Amino acid sequence: MDKTIINDALEFVRNTFNDDYSGHDYFHTLRVYKMSTRIAEQENANLIIVQLAALLHDVDDIKLSPETHVNKGRAVDFLRKHGVSEAMIKTICNIIGEVSFKGTDSVTPETIEGRCVQDADRLDAIGAIGIARAFAYGGNHNRIIHDPEIKPDVNMDADKYQSHISTTINHFYEKLFQLKDLMNTDTAKKISEQRDDYMRTYISEFLDEWDGIR
């Protein structure tokens, strides 16, 4: 059953995110799935729970499907159609609900499986891929790249973070530069070091070029 449901989940998310150009596309989910599997194998987590939660973690995202966001309707329907037990569905939905960055209201997942998925999702937000996704999201939402007069707000709660509109460069300070220190697992902490360094080097170069120093 494991192989069949994973293959079906891959097809489900491919169809769900077929027209997404904001950085939350099918390939984002695929990378989170692969990375969460890698972390789970190192951290001795339950692999099938991690993989299903990773594959379904964005299908009920509030920006994509606000009507199913609270009850995780799309994820629940998919899992029930594949005969997953109600207990496992609850576990997977709990993990999905814990994944997102919510400013100062961000939570540490209760289970090792949740921590694996959250780490994988956060790793995909930093490094070279994270830089590309940040600018893709900003452009998709008509955000300006940078304005030195608009200062970043680094202490937002969940409500303010959700409604906040800023520049793409500020997003690095408001979220991305914080993620390395929020990793849960030893595996993710090691991976995040290089990605965080690369990202900070890029932003330093960006700001130097913006100011005409380079």
Residue-wise pLDDT for 79-132, tens only, equals 999 999 999 999 999 999 999 998 888 999 999 999 999 999 999 999 999 999
Q: Distance between CA 34 and CA 185 in Å, rounded?
A: 16
Q: What is the DSSP letter of 1?
A: -
Read off the CATH number of the domain in which 129 is found: 1.10.3210.50
H helices of the chain, where?
2-16, 26-43, 47-56, 73-81, 86-99, 112-123, 127-140, 158-163, 168-174, 186-210
Instruction: Look up tokens 């995040």; give the residue.
Output: 192
What is the tally of structural domains in the chain?
1
Residue-wise pLDDT for 181-193, tens only, equals 999 999 999 999 9
Residue-wise pLDDT for 25-47, tens only, equals 999 999 999 999 999 999 999 99
Confidence of residue 175 (pLDDT cuts 50, 70, 90): very high
Domain that holds residue 158: 2-210
* Three-state SS at 102: coil
The helix-helix angle for 26-43 and 47-56 (nearest 10°) equals: 160
Q: Distance between CA 162 and CA 63 in Å, rounded?
A: 10
> Average pLDDT, whole number, for the chain?
94
